[in-house]
Amino acid sequence: MHKYIPTSKAEQSEMLKSVNAKSIEDLFVDIPKDIRLKRKLNVAGPLSEAELIKSIKELAKDIKTTDDLICFLGAGVYDHFIPSVVKHIVSKPEFYTAYTPYQPEISQGTLQAIYEYQTMICNLTGMDVSNASMYDGATALSEAAKMAFNVTNRKKVLVSSSVNPEAKKVLRTYMRFSGIELIEIDDLDGTVNLEILKSSLDRDTAAFIVQNPNFFGIIEDLEDIEKMVHKNGSLLIMYVEPISLSILKTPGEIGADIAVGDGQPLGNNLNFGGPHLGFFATTQKLMRKLPGRIIGETNDVDGKRGFVLTLQAREQHIRREKATSNICTNHSLNALTAAVYMAALGKHGIKEVALQCLTKSHYAYNELLKTGKFKPLFEKPFFMEFAIECENNVDSLNKVLLSNGIIGGYNLEKEYKKYKNSMLICVTEKRTKGEIDKLVSVMGGAIDELR
């Protein structure tokens, strides 16, 4: 069995002839000549399969992963423990190869898997309905902002500066090409500045976007924000971390109109930053404006339980101008992974994961402060991430940590210039007391070394 299918020159000629092309160069006629690469790629000549495998293995020796290093980096992608049952189930061919269901009558297994996923997302977020997943948290957030515009017919969206910077970049792109004005509300000591928010809300504001816990790890006080936003007739969009919802107030309890987030923490690997999945839940009132699809439960002609595509407001099914989204598929395998993870842990298991993240992160935070070499950047309640001020440049500190087998925290100065020499540290349930103590010891020593 071939791992790839090579083509001979004769086969290439036959393929070119079938599309009326004289050369491979003709296939690129639509690409302007001035932007084409005018030389051959600087790659080595062909290798045999055995030589190629040996070469790749040599390169791979230099790659270090969270299996080799102790990870204290979060900032949107998290190193959680994934039970072995998750990979075992999602690796089954009937799941692994399944695609978006277009013929529901013969896709009952796939439809049920998505239905169970939707149900668990609703239970987790406290919202009424969930769709069948988006690409990732950033695209789910952007689609939520577009949905708010469609619901309110207002063309301005406010977003807190303490929302994940990468998600905000995707959001800006979406808003730019949707003709929606995006205004960022600067934070005050790490949380939403209520005075700026209040003065920014007006009759053109479709929604306010807030993250909880926010990018700095802080748990936002959302009671006044919810009242303020809804009094203005705007929608409240919450970008949330799913594991935290087992111990924090859910978006449904807070009164949010839309809840979105990245489902990577729910049993999905880090995957070098993707692919992930974006979860998207809303109220029954707004259900008809939900992008993507909703799977529903019904009974067939024989009275047996069955599943159907209940809502499909996409351009493949209705007129393009009436489509709620141009997202044509869902990350069904990633969503299935999340569903298996949630089912395997159950509500008590997910709560235990959250509590361990909470207690271990606070232990790390207190131990670092005890050294007298670090100060809290914010003195606010947090979940599993916290920000500290360092005496030295964070990148230099992280180099020392890496040389000691530790992936250090996120350098906040990269996206927030006002928070110089500040590190965002994440502690998940995977971290042991010994690993945390090693972090504290190495960081303390690194400060002395870099002075």
pLDDT of residue 323: 64
pLDDT tens track for 79-94: 999 999 999 999 988 8
Residue with structure tokens 């639509």?
A: 30
3-state SS assignment for residue 5:
coil
Q: How high is the pLDDT of residue 309?
A: 83
Tens digit of pLDDT for each residue in 197-213?
999 999 999 999 999 99
- Of 162, 283, 281, give the one whose Cα is nearest residue 220: 162
The mean pLDDT value for 165-189 works out to 96
Give residue-wise pLDDT tens across range 99-135: 666 666 667 888 898 999 999 999 999 999 999 888 9
354-363, pLDDT tens digit by residue? 999 999 999 9
Residue 1 pLDDT class (50, 70, 90 cuts)? very low
Contact 444, 437 (CB under 8 A): no
pLDDT above 50 (res 64): yes
- Please check the confidence at residue 158 and state whether its pLDDT lies above 90: yes
Q: Is the pLDDT of residue 437 over 60?
A: yes
Return the closest-CA partner of residue 282 out of 236, 246, 340. Answer: 236
Q: Of the ranges 100-114, 344-358, 433-447, which one carries the lowest mean pLDDT score?
A: 100-114
Q: Could you tell me which residue, 24 or 160, shows the higher pLDDT? A: 160
pLDDT at 94: 82
Architecture field, domain 84-342: 3-Layer(aba) Sandwich (3.40)
pLDDT in tens, 227-245: 999 999 999 999 999 999 9
- Superfamily for domain range 70-81+346-450: Aspartate Aminotransferase, domain 1 (3.90.1150.10)
Beta strands in 263-379, from DSSP E residues, in sequence order? 278-282, 293-299, 305-312, 375-376
Reported as a single tens digit per residue, the pLDDT across 391-421 is: 889 999 999 999 999 999 999 999 999 999 9
The three-state secondary structure class of 411 is strand
Of 43-57, 99-113, 377-391, 410-424, the poorest mean pLDDT is in 99-113
Top-confidence residue, 109 or 221: 221
Q: Give me the phi and psi of 82, to 5 degrees please.
A: -115, 115
Could you tell me where in the chain the CATH 3.90.1150.10 domains are found? 70-81+346-450
Query: pTM here?
Result: 0.89
Q: Residue 210's beta-bridge partner residues?
A: 238
HSE toward the beta carbon, residue 291, CA cutoff 13 A: 28
Express as a percent the part of the chain with pLDDT over 90: 73
Query: What is the C-alpha to C-alpha distance for residues 341 and 88, in angstroms, rounded to an integer?
Result: 11
Tens digits of residue pLDDT in 309-328: 887 655 455 556 666 666 65
- Contact between 211 and 242 under an 8 Å Cβ cutoff? The reply is no
Tell me what pLDDT residue 103 has.
62
Chain segment 255-312, per-residue pLDDT in tens: 999 999 999 999 999 998 889 999 999 999 999 898 888 888 988 888 889 888 887 6
Query: Residue 109: which of 336, 435, 434, 430 has the closest Cα?
Result: 336
Report the pLDDT value the prediction gives residue 7, as an integer from 0 to 100.
82
Q: CATH 3.40.640.10 residue ranges in the chain?
A: 84-342
**Confidence (pLDDT) at 312:** 67
- Do residues 55 and 61 lie in contact, with contact meaning Cβ atoms separated by under 8 Å? no
What pLDDT shows up at residue 180? Answer: 95
Work out the mean pLDDT of the chain and round it to a whole number: 92
Confidence band, pLDDT 50/70/90 cuts, at residue 8: confident
Least confident of 80-84, 103-107, 369-373, 427-431: 103-107
Q: Are 257 and 228 in contact (CB under 8 A)?
A: no
